[in-house]
Amino acid sequence: MTKPLPWLSRDSQHFLIRGLKARFLAQRIEFRLIRQHVRSADTVCDIGANKGSFVFWLSRWCRNGRVVAFEPQPQFAQLVARLASDLKLDNVTVEQKAAFSKPGQADLFVPKGHSPGASLVSKTVGASDFETISVPMVRLDDYFAQHEQISFMKVDVEGAELDVFKGAERILREQSPLLIFECESRHLDGTRVEDVFAYLNALGYAGYFVAGSQLLSVAKFDAAIHQRQDGEWFWKAKGYYNNFVFSKTPLPDSQS
């Protein structure tokens, strides 16, 4: 039997469809900002790559640079690595590791039936049954050589955002990458969304949140309103916002 072309395999088609939905439907503002910001020779990071919805576009836009995808769940890391190889995304490196504030091993809580909600720091709200797996951790400041310029980081780590940023303090302070990340009170254990904002503000960043089709200053963000925890599926409610953009330079289309 003739082996199907890589572009026609089921996994490849799902990979491309996820990328198209992310760019043109779910995260249009974020992808527009990424496209305006990154350059062909840049090094960029996808931290919490999951099934790789950002990887395809980052690989295309940084075709002469480097895309490093960190994904601690073995099945997803192996999937993205295989698809990158099959689709000739030769500038993509997949690391089966969790970016964090310290190196070593840690337990990753993986809710059964909802593996995208895996977290190093908390158990997902609404999930009652978990699998725990041990995963390696790495500080981004240790992983990347001091001379390597990082221009962009996407972070989706279910509550470990502050630890990721603390492990990349040198990079954030000296190289000022654009940051796009999810952050939710429901995932944070002992910290607040505002604590993440304050840490980045102290490094010279200004923050914005995606509110529908608008990009608003985090000065207008109120977790009690914008991440209100009423109802069983509160995180899916209209007016619930969890996507943030931090930059050291003014962003187009943002409102103060």
Q: Where are the domains of the chain?
A: 6-255
Q: What CATH fold (topology level) applies to the domain 6-255?
A: Rossmann fold (3.40.50)
DSSP, collapsed to helix, strand or coil, labels residue 101 as coil
Over residues 54-100, the pLDDT tens digits come to 999 999 999 999 999 999 999 999 999 999 999 999 999 999 999 99
Beta strand 214-217 pairing with 206-211: antiparallel
What residues contact 101, with CB distance under 8 A and at least 6 apart? 139, 162, 163, 164, 166, 167
Token pair listed for 157: 């780590």
DSSP, collapsed to helix, strand or coil, labels residue 237 as coil
Phi first, then psi: give them for residue 255, nearest 5 degrees: -120, 135
Over residues 127-165, the pLDDT tens digits come to 567 888 999 999 999 999 999 999 999 999 988 999 999
Over residues 43-55, the pLDDT tens digits come to 999 999 999 999 9
pTM of the model: 0.92
What is the CA angle 107-113-115, rounded to 5? 45
Beta-bridge mates of residue 246: 179, 207
Token pair listed for 154: 């996407």
